[in-house]
């Protein structure tokens, strides 16, 4: 019998499930991105603003003066753990890959945005900045009140020489036209939590003014047009999954904040281990997203997971 084109060499102790996994991924639309889509990573130290993609909606934004981490999620538990077990943070992975942070900012309290943030704050001494729901998660994980900064949005928050502002937003309709795990977190959830304990709470798009470049972080594929009108941005980190459910998604962003660059995020699966090569989420048309950004007159900067790009000062 001829082997399947998706089959891989197997050992005598490989299970039927593991042999079938590549075929299953093809059937549900999980595929590896093409290397040609990506911007060449720049790891050389220097002046200017550096943006490193952590996967999902996570970024490290750094200059010689400041390091800000947005929506870190390196733990990335597998599907079985995600659905059936408490979610335990991989503290060593965070220590290895994000050794320093001044502030950790979270856009909403779903597990793939908030889970790792309290532990990163514990390790680095950074503040956890976000909504009431995000701060409830910080309390559950044992952070002291001195490391929690709650905002309802539209407040200017000093972050060293930078200024942060959370812009009230909405969560994208990712699954069959619906928002998954909607609702708020009004008291500290169990810790370690299950996925169902982490409702999104208030959603914030984070605007960061570094005194030179300005960055807008949209971690879910929706926004409130009027909230964006107040904040021009040079760089937009823009969620890919769910964009088709939001009419005029890219065009409205471009018309309102007039960016020079758009960095797609949240295009990769949340379950591929952080130190492996990423795979695209089912339903994410990354090449189509790139084309849409170009057609809007903006330069796309597509980073591989763990990839870094340095913007001019």
Domain boundaries, the chain: 16-311
Sorted by sequence, the CB contacts under 8 Å of residue 233 that are 6+ apart come out as 207, 214, 215, 216, 257, 258, 259
CATH 3.90.1530.10 fits 16-311, yes or no: no
Is 224 a residue whose pLDDT tops 70? yes
- Model pLDDT for residues 59-103, shown as the tens digit of each residue: 999 999 999 999 999 999 999 999 999 999 999 999 999 999 999
Cis status, amide bond into 243, omega within 30 of 0: no
Is 45 a residue whose pLDDT tops 60? yes
Stated pTM of the model? 0.89
- The answer to whether residues 220 and 171 touch, using CB atoms and an 8 Å cutoff, is yes
Higher pLDDT, 282 or 86: 86
- The answer to whether residues 4 and 24 touch, using CB atoms and an 8 Å cutoff, is no
Is 170 a residue whose pLDDT tops 80? yes
- Model pLDDT for residues 115-156, shown as the tens digit of each residue: 999 999 999 999 999 999 999 999 999 999 999 999 999 999
Please give the mean pLDDT across all residues of the chain: 89
């Amino acid at each position: 019998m001829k082997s399947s084109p998706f089959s891989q060499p197997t050992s005598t102790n490989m299970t039927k499930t593991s042999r079938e996994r590549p075929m299953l991924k093809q059937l549900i639309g999980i595929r590896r991105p093409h290397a040609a889509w990506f911007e060449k990573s720049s790891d050389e130290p220097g002046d200017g603003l550096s943006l490193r993609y952590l996967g999902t909606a996570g970024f490290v934004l750094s200059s010689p003066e400041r390091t800000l981490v947005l929506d870190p999620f390196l733990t990335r538990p597998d599907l079985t753990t995600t659905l059936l077990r408490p979610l335990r943070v991989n503290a060593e992975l965070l220590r290895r890959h994000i050794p320093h942070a001044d502030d950790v900012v979270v856009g909403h309290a779903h597990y793939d945005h908030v889970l790792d943030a309290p532990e990163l704050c514990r390790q680095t001494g950074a503040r956890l900045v976000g909504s009431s729901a995000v701060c409830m998660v910080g309390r559950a994980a044992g952070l002291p009140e001195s490391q929690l900064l709650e905002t309802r949005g539209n407040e200017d928050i000093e972050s060293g020489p930078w200024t942060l502002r959370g812009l009230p937003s909405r969560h994208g309709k990712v699954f069959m036209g619906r928002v998954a795990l909607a609702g708020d977190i009004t008291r500290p959830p169990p810790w370690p939590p299950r996925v169902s304990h982490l409702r999104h709470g208030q959603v914030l798009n984070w605007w960061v003014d570094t005194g030179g470049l300005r960055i807008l972080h949209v971690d879910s594929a929706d926004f409130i047009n009027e909230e964006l009108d107040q904040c021009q941005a040079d760089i937009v980190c823009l969620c890919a999954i769910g964009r088709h459910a939001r009419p005029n998604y890219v065009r409205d962003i471009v018309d309102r904040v007039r960016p020079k660059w758009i960095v797609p995020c949240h295009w990769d699966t949340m379950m591929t281990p952080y130190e492996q090569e990423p795979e695209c989420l089912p339903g994410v048309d990354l090449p189509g997203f790139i084309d849409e950004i170009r057609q809007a007159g903006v330069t796309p900067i597509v980073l591989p997971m763990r990839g870094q790009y340095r913007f001019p000062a």
